[in-house]
Amino acid sequence: MELVYFLIEAVVKVVVVFAVLMGTVAYLTLVERKVLGHIQVRYGPNRVGPFGLLQPIADGIKAFFKEEVVPAKADKTIFIIAPMISIVAALCLFAVIPFGDKIEIFGRTVSLTIADLDIGLLYVFGIASLGEYGVVLGGWSGYNKYGVIGALRAAAQMISYELALGLSVIGVLMISGTLNLGEIVQRQAGGHWNVLYQPFAFIFYLVCAIAEINRTPFDMPEAEAELACGFNIEYSSMKFSLFFMAEYAHLVAVCAIATTLFLGGWHGPFLPPSLSWIWFVIKTGVLVYFCIWERGTFPRLRYDQIMKLGWKVLLPLTLANIFFTGLIMVL
């Protein structure tokens, strides 16, 4: 009977997280267009429904009914699988993220984490690396020179910034002494957020994470100006939409992971443990807003500047952060 309860609990968690995440991804497209419109002194979507609130639904219906085109010389199997890899990897990241403290439901103590893994952070980096294959394979399989260039850029950018991204969180691991994301959050209780001890690592993480998910100013794999859309140039209909759903899901994921590692996770004043997830949502929302804000603020960098920033600036700085963290801990 206990096994049945465990399975039901796991299925309910997966369904709830999936439903909330898909709704968030859909309306994040509207939020981004509204915020960018405000930055650029225009309205943004305001035609479909009151204040444009039904625009994501209209976009979804439109994507489903648009014509599906597959290039004649494309590697059709990989062409179809590539967007699936991106969206599935993005969704799988949320399996180990702790959304809140434990709560009581029908007399049972329920953890607000789908899977509480001891190697949670390793799982996150492993799955995040797989997500990049969707972009690389999608650009390569379409038999289009612009798509291939976009795929090559994505591969180089992934390697360059994944090193610095991994090194940026080593300081947090040294302080926390665990790879379990739930334990990392618990050790930040009482206002001892890791961002206070690792402020530079937090900045490095944000920069590298934005580069990893190909957001402006690091959107070189899909640079419209010179690649006419880059890796997704041959995609249409829902396959095209899946890439953008994956991008927004990855955006929420990297912000949720930043909240977990640096901003105390669900910890915050005033609210009881049963509502601790509200603090997690607020902190993640603030970081997502920041990522949208910086997209409307910074111009796209040149590709050589992006490579130089990754290898010659961020990599040495993250190594220096690890060195000084260890030095301070020893002293």
Identify whether 66 is part of a domain.
no
Q: What does the DSSP 8-state code read for residue 105?
A: E
Identify whether 19 is part of a domain.
no
Structural domain tally of the chain? 1
Identify whether 7 is part of a domain.
no
For residue 13 the two structure tokens come to: 């968690």
pLDDT tens for each residue of the chain, 331 residues long: 677 877 888 888 899 999 999 999 999 999 999 999 999 889 888 888 898 899 999 988 988 888 888 888 888 888 889 989 999 999 999 999 999 888 887 777 888 888 888 898 999 999 988 888 888 888 888 888 888 888 888 888 888 898 999 999 999 999 998 999 989 999 998 888 999 999 999 999 999 999 888 888 888 777 666 666 777 788 888 888 888 899 899 999 999 999 999 998 888 888 887 788 899 999 999 999 999 999 888 888 888 888 999 899 999 999 999 999 999 988 8
E strand or H helix at 84: helix 76-92
What is the pTM (predicted TM-score) of this model? 0.91
For residue 160 the two structure tokens come to: 């360059």
Q: DSSP assignment of 24-35, as one string?
A: HHHHHHHHHHHH
Identify whether 119 is part of a domain.
yes
Identify whether 2 is part of a domain.
no
Could you tell me the residue range of the domain that residue 182 belongs to? 71-330
Query: Measured between alpha carbons, how far is 86 from 244 in angstroms, rounded to an integer?
Result: 9
Identify whether 294 is part of a domain.
yes
Query: Measured between alpha carbons, how far is 200 from 34 in angstroms, rounded to an integer?
Result: 31
The amino acid present at 70, given as its one-letter code, is V
Identify whether 48 is part of a domain.
no
Query: Measured between alpha carbons, how far is 74 from 79 in angstroms, rounded to an integer?
Result: 7
For residue 288 the two structure tokens come to: 């997502």
User: pLDDT at position 20, please?
Assistant: 92
Identify whether 36 is part of a domain.
no
